[in-house]
């Protein structure tokens, strides 16, 4: 009976110590610790808030009517009003892309109803592509004259925002972000080594991870809606312990 009790508490102690270490290491970014070859693997998190350096504004507009020529004429007039407005906002021809007008005969479709409110439905698009993100952000809020002139603008196209912000100068901020992740991971590894009574040794392996571009409002994706962007990377490093 005495031998059974003596053998039983040893595995329990080992399990208890393992669970305690697991909880401790998770809170400190320690991913894996191998006593056999005296190595520790840690993750370094880094985030950086930056500003978009490019934007695309899609101005979609529609017209409908019972005459093909009339719908096409109205679309052409709306397009000219939009181009004049963009010129007033200081945008140049090289920043503007004009898409062809499209007019659809609703009665010509294979499964069209026999009666429709207006037979012809037309649409057009003008895109502004520019690194002047602030100018685009201001122009979006100045479209009242177009609406008053009868231009039927769509604020969103197929679920996407009319104005989409992008980050194209990615490589310029990449080194700073990776450096911060590296320093973060090394600090965690050094703290772990000190607590374990060891000395942090050489770097054995490194994986810089994937840098993600997110909205600056706390979202977990880049929807293109925010002019601010948040870059996030989680890098993995393995250090030797001496």
Interval 112-147: pLDDT, tens: 666 667 889 999 999 999 999 999 999 999 999 999
Domain boundary pick from 165, 185, 210: 165
> Alpha-carbon Rg of the chain, whole angstroms?
30
- Percentages helix, strand, coil for the chain (3-state, rounded to 5) are 40, 35, 25
Q: What is the pLDDT of residue 117?
A: 76
pTM (predicted TM-score): 0.75
Q: What is the pLDDT of residue 112?
A: 60
Instruction: Tell me which residue range forms the domain holding 135.
Output: 55-165
Structure-block tokens of residue 205: 């392996």
**Whether residues 133 and 175 fall in one domain:** no
* 103 in a structural domain: yes
**Whether residues 191 and 111 fall in one domain:** no
């Amino acid at each position: 009976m005495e031998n059974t009790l003596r053998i039983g508490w040893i595995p329990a102690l080992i399990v208890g110590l393992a669970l305690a270490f697991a909880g401790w290491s998770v809170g400190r970014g320690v991913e894996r610790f191998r006593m056999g070859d005296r190595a520790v693997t840690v993750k370094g998190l880094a985030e950086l808030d930056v500003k978009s350096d490019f934007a695309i504004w899609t101005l979609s507009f529609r017209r409908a009517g019972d005459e093909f020529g009339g719908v096409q004429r109205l679309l052409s007039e709306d397009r000219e009003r939009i181009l004049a407005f963009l010129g007033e906002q200081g945008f140049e021809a090289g920043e503007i892309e004009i898409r062809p007008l499209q007019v659809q005969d609703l009665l010509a479709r294979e499964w069209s109803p026999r009666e429709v409110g207006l037979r012809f439905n037309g649409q057009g698009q003008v895109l502004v592509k520019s690194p002047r993100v602030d100018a685009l952000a201001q122009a979006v809020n100045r479209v009242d004259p177009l609406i008053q002139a009868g231009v039927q603008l769509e604020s969103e196209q197929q679920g996407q925002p009319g104005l989409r912000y992008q980050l194209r100068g990615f490589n310029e901020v990449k080194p700073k972000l990776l450096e911060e992740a590296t320093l973060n991971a090394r600090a965690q590894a050094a703290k772990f080594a000190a607590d374990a009574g060891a000395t942090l040794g050489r770097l054995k392996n490194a994986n810089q991870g994937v840098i993600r571009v997110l909205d600056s409002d706390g979202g977990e994706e880049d929807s293109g809606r925010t002019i601010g962007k948040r870059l996030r990377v989680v890098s993995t490093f393995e250090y030797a312990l001496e």
